[in-house]
Structure 1
Amino acid sequence: MKAVKAIRTPGGLSLRFDPRSLVVSLLLAAVTVAAGVVLIGSGDFPISPGEVVATLLGNGTQAQEFIVQDLRLPRVLVGLLVGASLALSGAIFQSISRNPLGSPDVIGFGQGATVGALGVIVLFDGGALAVAGGAVVGGLVTGVGVYVLAWKRGVHGYRLVLVGIGIAAMLTAANHYLVTKASLVEATQATLWMTGSLDGRDWAQVWPLLGVFAALVPLILAHGRQLRMLEMGDDAAYALGVPVERTRLVLMGSGVLLIAVATAAAGPIAFVALSAPQLARRLTRSPGPNLAAASVMGAALLLIADWAATTGFGDRQLPVGVVTGVLGGCYLLWLLVTERKAGRI
C-alpha cells in the first residue's frame, strides 16, 4: 500500500500527496538544473558551472553574458520545454490508452507534425515560422483523424494504439515521398530537420513554446485526477462521476498540441515521450500518470542526451535526435520483451 500524506489548509482544503513521488520529482528537477548548467558551460568556449551560475545572476563578463544569455541559454530552455512537453504528452496518451506503447511518437502524432512541416518546406519553400505552423497543423489534423477512426462507442486503448500505428506507417511513407520530391537543398534541409536537433535555437523558439506550455500545463494538471480514473477503465470512471469522453477529448487535444509545438520547435525527437513517463513511474513506484515526475524526467533526459550529443563524439556534434533514437530504441526493445513476458502483448 502506498503511503499518501494529507494536509489541510486553514481554509479547509485538503491536499493529498505521495512523499516518494514528491522527493523523486524534486531530485529530477535538481538533475535537470544541473544538466542545464553543465550544457550551458559546454562548447568551443567552455565556462565552468560556477561562472555559468554567476553569469545567470548578472555577475559575468560581457563575453560570458553574450555566450550564456544570447547563444546557449535559449537552446537549453528549448530543450527543457521540449523534453517536458514530449514527456507530458506521452504520459497522457499512455494513461488514456492504458498501454505503455501508447506514445504519441508511436501512434502517429509526431509523424503528422513532421508531414506538416515537410509539406511547407518542400511544397511552399516556407521559412522557420511557416515550418513551425505546418508542424502544428499537421499534428492537430492527425490527432483528429486518429480520434475519428478509433471511435466506436468511445475511444478505447488498444484500438487507439492500433489505429495510430497504422496511420504512423502511412505518414512515414508520406514523409519519404515528400523528401524524394524535394530539390537537393530542400531535401538536405528536410533531412536535417527530421533528425531532431536543438542547434541554432534562440529566443524566437522559446517564447511561443513557453506560452503554449504555460497555458496547457494547468489545464492538464486540473484533469490529473480524472486521467487517473480513466486508467481504471471507462465503466469505473463513469461510476466515479468522470465525464469520460469530454475529459478524454480535452486531454487528447492538449497532448496533441504539446507534441505538435515541441516538434515545431526542435523537429521530431524520438522516444522521449515513450520512455520518460515509464521511467518516472518506475522511480516513483506510484500508479497513475505521474504527470509532474514525467515532465521533469523528460526535461532531464533531453538535456542529458543533448550534452552527450555535443560532447561525447569529439569534434563531431550529433543532433540530439540521434542519441534519443538509439537509447529509446534499446528501451523499446526492453519494454516489448517485458510486456511479452508479462503476457500483455
Structure 2
Amino acid sequence: MIVLRTPNGFSVRLHPRPLAVGTGCALLALVVGVLSVGGGDYPIAPAEVLRTLAGGGTPAQDFIVLELRLPRLVTGLLVGAALALAGAVFQSLVRNPLGSPDMLGFTQGAAVGALLVVVAGGSTLALSAGALAGGLATGGLVYLIAWRRGVEGQRLILVGIGTAAILTGVNGYLLTRAQLTDASRAMLWLTGSLDGRGWTHAVPLLAALAVLVPLVLLAFGPALRMIEMGDDAASALGIRVERVRLMLLAAAVLLVSLACAAAGPVSFVALTAPQLAKRLTRAPGPNLLPALSMGAVLLVTADWAAQRLFTGHQLPVGVVTGAIGGAYLVWLLATSRRAVRL
C-alpha cells in the first residue's frame, strides 16, 4: 500500500494491484478504441488515427475520425464507465454480486420513460430526456417502497426485482401502443446501441461524470468501504449510514439513467464489470476505480466485436453484452450455489 500525503494533512492510500488493474484496463480501452476508430468501410491505420487526433490528418480523415467515429467511441467509454461504477456501488450497498441496475429495475424504469416518449411521438432528444426521468423516478420509488426505518440490502433487492418485473410488462404494453416505425426504433434503443451517437450524446454524459465520479470515489468511497462491513460496524466508526446510502443510491441511479439516455439500456455491463475487476484485483472493498475502467473496456470491446462479427451487418452492442453477461450470470449462480452463498 502506498500512502500519499498533501501539505494540508489530506492523505490518499493507493493499493498497487487495484491501481495496476485500473490503469491496465484504461490503456486497453484506448488501444481497442484506436482500432475501432480506424476500422470500417474507410479503414485508417492506427498511426494515422493517432496523427489525426493530434491534428495532423487530412480533411477526409478529420471528418471521418473526429465527426463520425470518435463521438461513438467516447460515448461508449463513458456509458461503460458509468454503468460499471453504478453497478459497483449497488453491489457494495446490498452486499450481493447480483445487485445491479439490470436486476433492481432501474434500467427498466429508464425504458418506460423512453417508451412513453415514443408513444407520444417525441424526438430523439425527448427520448433521452424521458429515459433520464424514468430512471430517476424508478430509483425514488424503489427506495421509498424498500424503506423500513432504513434500507436493508436484501429488501432493496427483492423490491427491485419485483419492480423490474412490473416495468417489463409495462414496456411490453407500451410497445403494442406505438406505431410500427416508432416501435422498431424503440426496439433498437431497448437493445442498447451506439449507432448514430454524436457529441450531443457524449458531452452531457461527460459533464455529469466529471461531477459524479469524484463525488463517489473521493467523498463517499471510504464510507462505502465501511458500509460493506455492515451498518452496525459502520455506525460505530462514525459513518452516517442512511445519509451516505441515500447519496450513493442517488448518484448510482443518476449514472444509470444518464447512460441509458445516451445509449439505451445496455445490459449486464453493470453486473459483470465490478465482479471481473474484483477478481483481478483480489482486493476487498468496492474497487470502484478498477470497476470503472473495466466497464469502459468491456463496452468498447463489445462494440468493436459487434461491428465485425458478421460481415456487412452490425449488431447492436447490447446483443454482445447480453450474451457475455448472460453466460457470466449462469456461471456466477453456479459457483455461488457451490459455495453455499445462494
- Give the TM-score of the pair, scaled to structure 1: 0.97
The reply to whether residue 105 of structure 1 matches residue 102 of structure 2 is yes
Question: Partner residue of 2:151?
Answer: 155
Cα distance in 1, alignment partners of residues 4 and 249 from structure 2: 31
The reply to whether residue 172 of structure 1 matches residue 168 of structure 2 is yes
Question: Partner residue of 1:41?
Answer: 38
Letter of the aligned partner of 2:255 in structure 1?
L
Question: Partner residue of 2:297?
Answer: 300
Q: How does 1:153-232 map to 2 (within 5 A)?
A: 153-221=149-217, 222-232=219-229
Give the paired residue count.
341
Question: Partner residue of 2:242?
Answer: 245
Measured against aligned partners, the alpha-carbon deviations of 1:282-324 in whole angstroms (never above 9, x if no partner) come to: 1111111111110110000000000000012111110000000
Please, which runs of 5 or more residues in structure 1 have no aligned partner? none
Letter of the aligned partner of 2:181 in structure 1?
V
Query: Cα RMSD over matched residues?
Result: 0.9
SS at match of 2:102: coil
Q: What displacement does 1:10 show?
A: 4.1
Cα distance in 2, alignment partners of residues 279 and 6 from structure 1: 26
Q: What displacement does 1:17 show?
A: 1.2
Identity of aligned residues (%): 60
Letter of the aligned partner of 1:38 in structure 2?
L
- Give the TM-score of the pair, scaled to structure 2: 0.98
* Selected match of 1:340 from 333, 337, 340: 337
Cα distance in 2, alignment partners of residues 46 and 290 from structure 1: 37
Measured against aligned partners, the alpha-carbon deviations of 1:56-85 in whole angstroms (never above 9, x if no partner) come to: 001111100100000000000000000000
* Selected match of 1:75 from 47, 72, 76: 72
SS at match of 1:343: coil
Question: Partner residue of 2:124?
Answer: 128
SS at match of 1:293: helix
Q: How does 1:135-154 map to 2 (within 5 A)?
A: 135-154=131-150
Letter of the aligned partner of 1:232 in structure 2?
M
Cα distance in 2, alignment partners of residues 198 and 64 from structure 1: 21
Measured against aligned partners, the alpha-carbon deviations of 1:16-47 in whole angstroms (never above 9, x if no partner) come to: 11011111111111101101111101111011
Q: What displacement does 1:8 show?
A: 3.2
Q: How does 1:7-46 map to 2 (within 5 A)?
A: 7-46=4-43
SS at match of 1:297: helix
Measured against aligned partners, the alpha-carbon deviations of 1:204-241 in whole angstroms (never above 9, x if no partner) come to: 11111111111111111120000111111110110010
Question: Partner residue of 1:268?
Answer: 265
Please, which runs of 5 or more residues in structure 2 have no aligned partner? none
Question: Partner residue of 1:277?
Answer: 274
